[in-house]
Structure 1
Amino acid sequence: MTATMERQVAGTATPGDLMSAGARARLVLVLGSLIAIGPLTIDMYLPALPSLTAEFATTAAAVQLTLTGTLAGLAAGQLVIGPLSDVVGRRIPLLAGTAVHVLASILCVFAPNIAVLGGLRVLQGLGAAAAAVVAMAVVRDLFTGLPAARILSRLMLVMGAAPVLAPTLGSALLSRTDWRGVFAALAVFGVLLIVMTALALPETLPRERRRPATPGSVLRAYAGLLRDRVYVGLALVTGLMMAAIFGYVAGSSFVMQGEFGLSEQEFGVAFGGGAAGMIIATQLNVRLLRRWTPSQILVSALLGGLAAAVALVVFAVADVGGLAGVLVPLWLVLAAAGLAFPNAPALALSRHGEAAGTAAALLGAGQFGIGALAAPAVGVLGSNATAMAAVIAGSLAAATLVLFTLARPWRLAEPSGTDAVVAVH
């Protein structure tokens, strides 16, 4: 008897268990496109950071704050949109948020200085937050446990393609236009997402499962999440992993173009190589889940990523290995992230199906809120290979410490309520 049939007999089948393979594939495509708007918004203009610095006659740290603003908007927006989606359903917040993203992208095209651009990037992040949190909540509406981890792995394939394509697309646009054309392209992509969502994504939260629309209920939901030590630990782990990634994102263009002399197009290829490693790792995760639990994979990924980050620090400080001494450890860190990211959210969300939107919001806010601290840290430390390596290694060391002291991986395999994380094989 298959796992799906066993859950149906037991009366615990989720809506996703009843979906055909084709329907699941279409769902992954739609949700993956929604999730991609965040990485595209963050990454497409990365090749233009040096030229932005020159055009606005500002510093690298000031330009990196526009990246921080986007991450801060993504974090804050999810804290609002997540509970709202538990109250009114998933579609309305998603469509409204994406419309805000489109408006902000259009206004970015006309930004007269770095301060205005930074403010608009915050608004852009607020709009993109709707897609990020609703996509995660939809997964939890439909799946739990190992099926959720597998769906998230498939989503990471689509999400991993976004960083591969983003700098390459940005470089291609920059060969024909300037950085303003990048934001015009993001506006067009947002419009396409609105149309796709309106036509292809049904409401996944029935009215009977929606929560009361009161400030008190929202605060109680967040308080309940914060009292769950394991959930908090997993949220912090995910956020610190994101900090490592955005330490790389914030510093990579300055390191590869400034220190190693890569062109905008060559930078796009090098950046895409790391994202390709993340894609491969996320798809390997689907196969690994057939033999090991999400918690076991998460522990191995963090330890492996930390080892690669330490090697990166050594190569950067000693100034040995050249570009390869930087790229190879970085790509290993990204591969470790590809294994960690599907499993940590799946473990965290499986504990709170009664408030999936709020749980996804707090998880996402932790990711982008903690990640937002990494970008200025790289700038303050010097925007060089050593600074980038230090932020990445520090973030991964903190994530590993939190995992073993707060989340405690030897207890992550325990079911929570009716949501067995690893009991279904």
Structure 2
Amino acid sequence: MPLRLLLILGALSAFGPLAIDFYLPSFPTLARVFATDVEHVQLSLAAYFIGLALGQLVYGPLADRFGRRKPLLAGVLLFSLASLACALAPSLEWLIVARFVQALGGCAGMVVNRAVVRDLCDPIASAKVFSQLMLIMGLAPILAPLAGGALLGWLGWQSIFACLFAFGVLSWLGVALWLPETLAADSPNAPLRGALGEYRRLLGDWPFLGHALTGGLAVAGMFAYIAGSPFVFIELYGVPAEHYGWLFGSNALGFILVAQLNAWLVARHGPGYWLRRTVWFYLACGLLLLAIATARPAHLWPLLIPLFGCIACLGILLPNASACAMAGQGTHAGSASALLGSLQFGIAAGAAALVAALHDGSAWPMALVICACAALAVLCSRLTRWAERRSGHPGW
């Protein structure tokens, strides 16, 4: 795949993590500014997840009907305008609504991103490309909290959303100038009225659904960490807000390195092989994290070791689950990508909300939700493999 196209797809895939991670260091500040607590500020994160989950269901059929470019350009423009609205928010309620709309726009890039890769690549090549995109989008969790913490101290929390507005505008220009239409000209245009029927078909396709749920539970564990880590790092263990990004970024670095290793691994055994094995490592790290959090250590470092393992192994789980789910979807790749993303972020929204609901002044709620997600991911992976064997599915 040409480097310029890969960079554009990487920017599109970064909409989600960048819009999430950039403002994490500002949670305590936003709580003070809007005279509330961190748990209520976390609702703006849950609203973003809900917007990602719902919006993708709309963009999928649009991308199959009208091509990849037009829905994408409309979505990126909406993201940019909503980012500006976030910067001007006079209240937490305004911010929550603006974040929801921001997600409705930003999710276009995530849907079209996966559909474009499916248009151009076979399952093994798709897993490699998704792993390469992890390198680009993985920079967002490293750089965004660092930049967000710096901007917070220099220019205030509004500057964070002003930068997201600028990023959206630049991405819109990149798509308009350099992203070609990848939906084949002779592909049948899927009628919009058939969207619900296509979603019903996909929900009855257990290899697709099982891989989507496995990846979705992995994403949910990651966003439980994203929702809980500002309190755990900054409030509970006293890490300065401007240093939060260094800890957050170290985990993201592990994610990037493992994703690049995955590009080499899938050429030897295929994405399904590594997906089924890595979920067990994810569970082991989750159990260790829960045990340490239950002991309520006086220092942060014991929690950081299993957290690093949980986040790093997502570099294998996420690209391989996406590649396995998207394999064989053909001209309906837009709808499949939409449902895949909707399931992932719907589960993630629930996980983020659960971390907030269980808040007890310790790291235990975050650890419990991560561990539960890992256990359910193992269960889904095992059921998917069982279903593949019964149906004679190749299993990729």
Q: TM-score, normalised by structure 1?
A: 0.90
How big is the shift at 1:209? Answer: 1.0
The answer on 1:277 being equivalent to 2:244 is no
Matched, 1:183 2:161: yes
- Distance in 1 between residues matched to 2:98 and 2:114, nearest whole Å: 25
Q: Distance in 1 between matches of 2:11 and 2:275?
A: 25
Residue number in structure 2 paired with 1:220: 197
Instruction: Name the aligned partner's letter for residue 69 of structure 2.
Output: R
Q: Are 2:317 and 1:340 aligned? A: yes
CA contact 1:238–1:366 (8 Å) conserved in 2: no
> For 2:220, which of 243, 246, 251 is the aligned residue?
243
Of 81, 94, 97, 2:72 maps to: 94
- Give how far 1:214 is off: 3.4
Could you list the per-position Cα deviations for residues 329-361 of structure 1 after superposition, in whole angstroms to 9, with x for gaps in the alignment?
Answer: 111001111111110110010131230000000
Residue 315 of structure 1, CA deviation: 0.7
Which stretch shows the higher mean deviation, 397-406 or 278-287?
397-406
Relative to structure 1, the CA distance from residue 226 to residue 385 in structure 2 (aligned partners, 3 Å threshold; closer, same or farther) is: same
Structure 1 partner of 2:366: 388
Structure 2 residue 42 is the aligned partner of structure 1 residue 64: yes
Instruction: Write the distance in 2 (CA, Å) between the matches of 1:108 and 1:293.
Output: 42
- CA deviations on 1:46-92 (whole Å, 9 max, x unpaired) are 00001111111112221111001111111111100011000000000
* Structure 2 unmatched runs, 5+: none
Answering whether residue 30 of structure 2 is matched by residue 52 of structure 1, we say yes
Q: CA offsets per residue over residues 260-293 of structure 1, 9 Å max, x none?
A: 1101121110000000000001000011113222
Identify which of 343, 348, 362 aligns with 2:339.
Answer: 362
Q: Find the counterpart in structure 1 of residue 98 from structure 2.
A: 120
Inter-CA distance 210–126: structure 2 relative to 1 (3 Å threshold): farther
Q: How does 1:195-210 map to 2 (within 5 A)?
A: 195-210=173-188
Correspondence 1:71-150 to 2 at 5 A: 71-150=49-128
- Residue by residue over 1:212-238, the C-alpha shift from the partner in whole angstroms, topping out at 9 and shown as x without a partner, is 3331x2122112111101111111111
* Secondary structure of residue in 1 paired with 2:181: coil
State the Cα deviation string for residues 133-154 of structure 1 (Å, max 9, x = none). 0011000010121111101110
- Give runs of aligned pairs for residues 300-339 of structure 1, distance below 5 A: 300-320=277-297, 322-339=299-316
How far apart, in 1, do the equivalents of 2:70 and 2:175 lie? 10
Q: Name the counterpart of 1:11.
A: none
Give me the whole-angstrom Cα distance separating, in 2, the residues matched to 1:27 and 1:261.
Answer: 42
Separation in 2, partners of 1:238, 1:367:
7
TM-score (norm 2): 0.96
Q: Percent identity?
A: 43
**Rounded Cα–Cα distance in structure 2 between residues aligned with 1:165 and 1:42:** 12
Give the direction of change, closer, same or farther, for the CA distance of 1:112–1:220 in structure 2 (3 Å limit): same
Residues 22, 145 of structure 2: 8 Å contact kept: yes
SS in 2 for 1:204: coil
For the residues of structure 2 that align with 1:349 and 1:413, how far apart are their CA atoms? 18
Aligned CA-pair RMSD: 1.7
**Superposition map of 1:232-271 within 5 A:** 232-271=209-248
Partners in 1 of 2:13 and 2:389 — Cα distance? Answer: 30
Amino acid at match of 1:302: V
Indicate which of 323, 326, 329 corresponds to 1:349: 326
CA distance, structure 2, for counterparts of residue 106 and residue 407 of structure 1: 45
Partner of 1:20: none
Shift of 1:407: 4.8
Residue 320 of structure 1, CA deviation: 3.3
Contact in 1 for aligned 2:62/2:192 (Cα 8 Å):
no
Partner of 1:36: 14
Equivalent residue number for residue 267 of structure 2: 290
Unaligned runs of 5+ in 1: 1-22
- C-alpha contact (below 8 Å) 2:296/2:363 kept by paired residues: no
**Structure-1 residue corresponding to 2:150:** 172
Whether the aligned pair in 2 keeps the contact of 1:236 and 1:366 (CA below 8 Å) is: yes
Task: Tell me, in whole angstroms, the C-alpha distance in 1 between the residues paired with 2:366 and 2:120.
Answer: 39
Secondary structure at the counterpart of residue 108 of structure 1: helix
Runs of 4+ in 1 over 3 A off after TM superposition: 406-416
Shift of 1:200: 1.0
Deviation at residue 409 of structure 1 after TM alignment: 8.0
Asked if structure 2 preserves the Cα contact closer than 8 Å seen for 1:241 and 1:395, the reply is yes
Residues of 1 paired with 2:154 and 2:301: CA distance?
30
CA-CA distance at 1:415 after TM superposition: 5.7
Q: 2:138 aligns to what?
A: 160
- Indicate if the aligned counterparts of 1:251 and 1:384 stay in contact, CA closer than 8 A: no
| Structure 1 residues 409 and 284: CA distance shift in structure 2, 3 A | farther
The answer as to whether partners of 1:231 and 1:407 remain within 8 angstroms in 2 is no
| Alignment-mate amino acid for residue 341 of structure 1 | L
Q: CA deviation at 1:185?
A: 0.4
Q: Give the Cα separation in 2 of the matches to 1:320 and 1:411.
A: 44
Letter in 2 for 1:293: G
Contact in 2 for aligned 1:293/1:413 (Cα 8 Å): no
